[in-house]
Structure 1
Amino acid sequence: MEREIGSVVGGFLMFSDEELREMSGLKRGGDYVEVMCGCTSHRYGDAVGKLRVLANGDLEICCECTPGCQEKLTPSAFEKHSGRETARKWKSNVWVIVAGEKVPVSKTALLKYYNQSSKNAHGSQITHSGQACHRDEFVRCKTCNKERRFHLRTKEECRSYHDASLNANWKCADTLYGPISCNDEEERRSRRVYRGCSRSATCRGCTTCVCFGCTTCRFSECVCQTCIDFTKNAQV
């Protein structure tokens, strides 16, 4: 019988039954675990969302603070988005529901992989490319001229962005992940500054934390010059 708690990735269980016991909104996927979360503002009340924990340490919150709001934010950006007065303390301010009670995410096992990833990024075990993350990027639609966000969490997502960025005639209808049409509103400018970087939510692409070439975002079978150069250098 299929397990209802935990998620198996690469042969290991991300979280044990005990670690996830009685968490509200629990859902598991092939490489993630998702639970209901929220952040409370004394002025605006509770903003709720879905916290997705990926096996590589990334955290992503799909905000549901208002009907129709499905912005995907880092926990830090979600804390600000909720209107929390004491920002910069998202580990304490963002909560999940455990046995009917609000529990700070820092007091759960959900940050296990995030904390490990942070240690590696600041220590000697930085990624093989010497960089720490792939931040979100944008491509402009040829038809409506609106910028569309691309998340670069997996190799498939990186390939989707890579191909779109090389296509001078890319349009909204070509999006592979999630239905988007030219009729959909463009992300507001204040939201677009948040790029999903694990070190800085508003990262502008510094050489310290953004990857400029690795086996996740470069493709040996691709004939573009960027991938050809990377593959050639990687074999030297």
Structure 2
Amino acid sequence: MGLFVSGQSGSLYLAKTISSVVLTVDKLTPAAFEKHSGRETAKKWKNNVWVIVGGEKIPLSKTVLLKYYNEALKKCNRSNRRSQGTKVFHRDEFVGCIECGKERRFRLRSRDECRLHHNAMADPNWKCSDFPYDKITCEAEEERGSRKVYRGCTRSPTCKGCTSCVCFGCELCRFSDCTCQTCVDFTSNVKA
């Protein structure tokens, strides 16, 4: 069993076999399919693809067909992660200055950057002059509020926090040589 999608010269063919039932979608170009659906909602494509089951038209998202598609996708992603090494993503975070109250952005893309942010969060007396990336003072402008909403999430630029960009602890952002409770708990749970 499997969901087969193949393209030939810009055309799509879709076929699925479930216990001797074959569902086929006519030859359509992506533009023709979009026009046929009457919507431009690429993220909701599962609701725009319909399957006829027992003479009844049902959105693909409400059938078991996606179960096989999603499982195959998960297996593919797991094998890719192993071959590329696990890449955990962290969104940008802000730390406030104790003197002026301005928030400064910390990028969290590497272990070193995560350590700098971790140390800043652990320091109750963190000041703008301690900022590791640039030599700044409290007089320097704070990042605009409209810019702060962009935190670097891979799913959505203005994400407020999702499973893709919010980390509750990993080897990139937790440190065995740190004595804070969060790192101690993470390290002890990893060893257990």
Q: Distance in 1 between matches of 2:148 and 2:173?
A: 21
8 Å CA contact 1:138–1:147 kept in 2: the answer is yes
CA drift at 1:180: 1.7
8 Å CA contact 1:131–1:210 kept in 2: the answer is no
CA drift at 1:201: 1.4
Q: Give yes or no for the alignment of 1:153 onto 2:114.
A: no
Q: Give yes or no for the alignment of 1:178 onto 2:109.
A: no
8 Å CA contact 1:126–1:132 kept in 2: the answer is no
1:123 to 66, 77, 100: 77
- Which residue of structure 1 lines up, in the alignment, with residue 179 of structure 2? 223
CA drift at 1:126: 5.3
TM-score after normalising by structure 1: 0.45
CA drift at 1:131: 8.3
How many aligned positions are there?
Answer: 115
Cα RMSD, aligned residues only: 2.4
Q: Deviations over 1:156-214 (max 9, x none)?
A: 11011011112111000011122221111001100000001122211212234322211
Higher helix share: 2
Q: Give yes or no for the alignment of 1:190 onto 2:146.
A: yes
8 Å CA contact 2:94–2:103 kept in 1: the answer is yes
Q: Is the partner of 2:161 in helix, strand or coil?
A: coil
Which runs of structure 2 are paired with 1:123-142 in the superposition (5 Å)? Answer: 123-124=77-78, 125=80, 132-142=88-98
8 Å CA contact 2:89–2:164 kept in 1: the answer is no
8 Å CA contact 1:220–1:228 kept in 2: the answer is yes
Q: 1:198 to 1:135 in 2, by over 3 A?
A: same
Q: Distance in 2 between matches of 1:219 and 1:147?
A: 24
Q: Distance in 1 between matches of 2:103 and 2:165?
A: 23
Q: Distance in 1 between matches of 2:160 and 2:81?
A: 20
Query: Unaligned 5+ residue runs, structure 2?
Result: 1-72
TM-score after normalising by structure 2: 0.55
Identity score, percent: 57
Computing the radius of gyration from Cα coordinates, the structure with the larger value is: 2
